[in-house]
Every structure is written in C-alpha cells, then in structure tokens.
Structure 1
Amino acid sequence: MLGNAVVISILLMSLLCLLRLNVLLAILLSALSAGFISGLGLQKSINLLIEGMAGNLEKALSYILLGAIASAIAKSNLTIILIYYIANFIQNRRLVFCLSIAFFACFSQNLLPVHIAFIPLLIPPLLPLMNRLKIDRRAVACALTFGLKAPYVSLSVGFGLIFHTILRDQLIQNGIEVSLSDVSSVMWIGGFSMLIGLLLAIFVFYRKPREYQETFLKESVLGVLENPKMQIRDVGVLLGAIITFVVQVFTNSLPLGGISGLFVMMVLGAIKWNEIDEVMENGFKMMAFIAFVMLVAAGYANVLKATGDIQSLVDFAASLSGGKLGGALIMLGIGLLITMGIGTSFGTIPIIAAIYCPLALELGFSVSGIILLVGIAGALGDAGSPASDSTLGPTSGLNADKQHNHIWDTCVPTFLMYNIPLIIGGVIGAMLL
C-alpha cells in the first residue's frame, strides 16, 4: 500500500503545501507524480488533467458570476450596513465575533447561496476590528469553514440539497433504497460534530489574544463607524441578490442564478452601464484564482481515478476491516484521504459509494448507518484540504493584509477542528443507528 500512487500523490501534495509551495503548483506536481508512479506517463497525465478540468467548469463559472455580484454589492452600502451592525453588536466581545461570523457564513449555503463569494467582500473591512480585539484569525478561519460546510452536510437546503441528492442517488445506484428525508434524518450528526469542533476552536484552542500589525486596511473601517443609510441603488442590489437565490433554488443552477441576479441589478440601475466592465473585472480579481484552483483540482481528481489505485485503496480497506468498528474507522479514514486529494465532498461520494455500500451491508450496518458513513466519508477532508473552496475562501479574506497563511492558519486548524469530530461522530453514529 505504500506504493499506491494515490497515497503517495496526496502525501506529496500535503507536504508541498506545508512547505508553502503555491497551492496550484502543488496540485499540478502531485497530479503528475500520480500519473508517473502508476505508469500512465507524463503526457497522458497532462491530457487527463486537462480533460478532468471540465468537471468543475460549472462551479468555476458560478464563482466568477458570484464574484461579480459580490463586486456589485461592494459598490453599494449593504456591506457597510452589515459591518456597522456587526461592529456595534460585537463591541469588545471577541468570542461573540467568531460565533457571529459562523452564523452569517451559514446563510451563504442556503438563504443566499453565494458560497465563498461573500468572504473577500465582508472579511477584509473587518480585519482592523479583529486586530484591535486581538482575535486569533485561526478561530475566524474555523468559523468561516464551519459556515461553508456544516449547512450542506446537515441540511437539505441550497448546496445541502445538491449534496444530499448526490448521496441519495449514489446509494440507490448501489442497491440501497433511500429517500431524501432518510438522508437528512441522519446527516444532522455530521453538522452536530462540526459544531463541537467550532466550539472547541473558539473557546479552547484559539481563544488567546494574538497580535497582528496595523495595516493600510485601518482606514477602511472608519466609514463603517458612522451609521450608514440604505439608498435606492442598495435596494436594487438587494433585489438582485434575492433573485439570485430564488432562481438558484428553483433551477438548481448557480450560473443561471448569478446571471439572473446581475441582469436584475442592471435593469434596476444598481449597476450602471458604464460600470459593467469594472464590476466584472473586480469579480474576476476576487474569485478567479479560486475558480482556477477548483478547475485544476477536478483535473487532479481525474488523474487519481485513472490510476486505478483508488479502487485498490478501498479494497485494501475492506480486507482490513475486521468488524463494524474497524470497518467504520477504515472507511472514514479512506474517505478523508481521497477528499483531501480531490478537494470536494461532492465529487468524493460517487467514488466511494460503489465499494462502501456492499462492504457496509456485509459488516451489518443499518441503512441509516450506511447513509451516515458514506455521507461523512465524503465530507471528511473538505475542511483542511489545500485545494478545497472551504479553505481557499477563508484565506482569501483573512490574508488581505498578508498576515494569514493558507496552510498553517487555515488548513491545519480546520483539519484538526473538524475532521477529528466528524470521524468520532461518524463512528459512534453508525454503530448506534
């Protein structure tokens, strides 16, 4: 198993990221190493990488469009109004700040499904306040990742509806008849496990004050301290954001929702005709790097699948299971490893469900236990993966003043705070259900 191309490649990616190599380069080198070790060859690996990038084209387009919407919101007073009320509500309460960020971040997955697009818009203006309160940004990273991940893991709304639907469909395809309500009735355990991790991060591990240097961002918060007023243009932006949510819910298409929202903002005059280029360019600046990392991550996943070693990895796990407890631990561990490499929970479930379903049935798990095992095995690793939007998003906001490291301040803390509770919650839940 030490010669498994998937294992070696993911360990290499993790090592390169820990050594602070650019995430994009780390993924590319790891993909090539997987292809080389498995005998695919470098040229075929590159071709597979490029072909696989199509797997995240919709997500990349969504991010660019949502970035444009975020850019339009940035030109309005909506963010200033939100920051004003957050600042007044928080005052000098550091712990309340982190909990509030987690609370607001949850809405990005369901009520207003802009996912990570709100982070570069909301977080940088709050950095001076965070510096003044000496908040450890690792706690805020954990709060943001919780808001980005826990809602879709546990609730069948917004992105959670997509995640739960994928989980249901893959279970059905592999001989386990379940409904969407069956999935949502057990996946709350995953969300509760993450809540435990969030509370540990905020109240225990990252509670102590941490000093940061004052930066150029200091002046950006001064205007927030005045009571802002909503203008007619702000109403147009707000309506556009609402349309984005409504269209996405009824069509299950984020790109269509994004286009609809931008169109409404232009018709209502919230985005002036001569400002369209600026709004789109700012949207690209805000989200293009993350979108491209997600594209390359999809290509990396395609290379890993082509090696054939994911199957052998899962087969190896099956041979070592030795009972329900051992089987649950090994299945969750393998899910963690695969998702760490692929960087997306949504793409991991189809990979593991085909083997995990018959294995779990053979070990005597109930249908509810299998739902939980497959769902959490797919969700594991999204927090902590250098290539995941759940970590790239928080870093994009918290590192606006170049004082927050993607790996050590986002990936490592979120990996520890969420993957360990998810494994514990998944094992206990699967054994008891």
Structure 2
Amino acid sequence: MANEWLTVRVEDIAEKIAMGPFGSNIKVETFVEKGVPVISGAHLRGVRLEDGDFNFVTGEHAEKMKNSNVFRGDVIFTHAGNIGQVAYIPSNSQYERYVISQRQFYLRCDLAKADPAFVSYFFHSAEGQHKLLANASQTGVPSIARPSSYLKTIELSLPRLTEQRAIAHILGTLDDKIELNRKQNETLEAIARALFKAWFVDFEPVRAKLEGRWQHGQSPPGLPAQIYDIFPNRLVKSELGEIPEGWEGVSASRLIEFNPSEPLRKETEAPYLEMAALPTSGSWPEPPILRPFGSGMRFRNGDTLLARITPCLENGKTAFVQCLPDNTVGWGSTEYIVMRPKPPVPPEFGYLLARDATFREQAIRSMTGTSGRQRVQADSVATFKLAAPRHEAVWDAFSRVVGPIFISIKDNAETIATLAKLRDTLLPKLISGELRVLDAERILGA
C-alpha cells in the first residue's frame, strides 16, 4: 500500500545536483558542426529527452564545463524561461554525453535508491509540478529561485525500487505507443509533402516521361500506371518557367478561397482553436475547446489555418482542420488566414501549399506593420503564382493519393489523444500509490 512508501527529500536520493554553465560559456561563437550536443528547451518537451537537432560544442570546451555535462539517467530541469520542464536522458539516447544550457540544472540519482524515469514522471504529475514551481517567480522572465538548493528540499514518496521501475515501465509503455504514432504521422506528412512537391513544383512525372525513364505501361515506383498516364509528356514555357503542357500559371486565389464566410452567431458555443494550439510542424492542432463565439476567423473540417502574424508565421504555425465534429463551424484567432480549396481541388492541397517553402517565403516577405506586430494580409498570399492542371483527372488522382494519408494522420492523432488521456489518468494514481501496478496492468490489458 502507499503507506508503505518512504517520504524522502530529493537530496536523500541524489548523487549530484548541479547548475548549467554561465551564459558566457555557451554562445553562438562556441558552436561547431560536430561534438558534444547542447540541450535546449526544445529537447525537454516530454518525460524523456527528445533527441533531434542540436547545437554542438567541442569535446575540449565541454570538458571546461565538466560540472554541466550530463549523461544517461540524469534528470534535466529548466529553471528560467519555460519553467516546469523536466526530462531524463534514457538509456537509448542518441548520445552518451550532453551539455546542459545556462537555463537548466540537473539531478543525478543514486540508482540504488531512485529510478530516474520514476522521478521524472513524479515531476510531471500535478503534485510534482506544484512542488517544483512553488518557489518560482513570474516577474519578468519566469524563474525558480535558488533552483539547485530548492530542489534538494522537495519531498516525494518512494516505493521500493522494483515498484518504481514497474510504474515507470507502465507509463513508459504508453509514451512509447504515443511516440510511435507521432513518428508515423511525421513519416506520413513527409510523404504527402514530397508528393505535392513532385507533382506541382518539380513536375517529376512529366520529367520522367520527357526523359524516357519508363517504357509504355510502366510507371515510377509508388505511382500507379493509370495515374502516371494522366500526366503530359512535355514541358512548355510560361511566365513561371517551364510547366507541364496543358497546365496554366494561376494565382492561388483561382484554386483556393481565402477567409471564406461562415455563419456563427455571437455567444454561440463552438469549438475554439487558439494560436497556441497550432503546430509549428505537422498538421494536427491541440484539441479545440468549447467557447462562446466572440470575434475571430471561422472554419470547417478541410480548411487550412495559416498564422499570419510574427513570429507565428515564421515559426510555421499551420494546421489542417480535421478535428471538428461533422458539419460544425469552429472559430479561432483573428490572426489566422483560412484557406479553403475550391472543387475539384482537394482540401489537402491547401494545407500542402501552406507548407510549401516558396509560398511561405512570399508570405513572410509580404508582411507589413510595426516591428513586433507585423502580419501578412490574405490578399497578399492569394496572389501567389503556381502551375495548375486544367483537367479534373489530375486533381482526382491527387485526392486519391493524399486523402488516405491524411485520414491515417487523423486516426493516429486520435489514438495519441486516447493514449495520452489514459497516461494522464494513471500517472497521479500510480505516482501516489492510489493505484497499484497489478491493477494498472489489468486496466491496460483490458
């Protein structure tokens, strides 16, 4: 039972607690192409360190900051800025050694007493977050006062080490499933964007025919012959450069309706997507919340939301709306541009265009306004020029190829939401001892 657990202070289970380096020790001039990776807040978004793109310092420079070097099993905290971030470095991390940044500090557990994954999950619970942030100041840059000495005083309840590991394993299994679905969605999106670029930017099927890469009845890998056959076999000159024969250069407004009108009465409760809900990569936003309509952009499933204000536009905030109940109007920030493709252009095309690098570059160049509040107008992005097929067969074929991809993305995203809800339900109960490991295993096995 939970009353068998020991109440300890963090200092009782710590082998070491240490701060990150002084700011002058890590700056742009110290970065190199390869070396020891530097952890930033972007790597601390979950319970485990998220490997990915890093800045690096040389091994020699890392040695000068030896006290700020971290290894597998260490638990990293953010003490300034995005406070509340906690993640441990798992045993399968991409690198064996890292350097933390100046806004971070770390706990190295005594592995005979505490499991790092369990400790990390504790600090992700409501109780752990409350205790961690109890000594925080929100004046100016949010920060935790005296972070390393304060961390030592925080109390938590610990079961036996074997039970700590079992609890971390249950929660970790759910996180593994969530991560698997996230990676699948990243792959699916990459496929969809590659198809968009191949068909509508590089005209790869046409170039393949032009260069005679495939004989009659054959087609490139992944492109069925009946779809390959609908593409012309010549490129012709146009104001956009060479485009497929039979296609035309058009403005985006010819294919897409920008900021379409939708009825929604004041004070009507409807799904609301705030700017913070839009992803900087990927198409799936955070779940909408019901809120009485005041003023804002209205949209439906199949629409694309493009953030038009700095720095959200530059950061990539964009979403393909698939998360609303059927036949429902949602609403959100006035700083969205809503893009709705006109039939026969498939809905997914609008999102893929909004993610296109050249389209985004024009949008960013077209921003106007005072510093810090610059935004692009819908009329500016509507003038973006692109090549478009005249025949519906190409649009129908593209819809048949990318439509199932975005259905899979939706299915995976909904699975992620279900798994995350289950994890968040089990987390406080397991960490507190209210729910025992065997009971949790029965729930997961049901």
TM-score by length of 2: 0.21
Relative to its length, the structure with more strand (as a share) is 2
Name the structure with the higher helix share: 1
TM-score by length of 1: 0.22
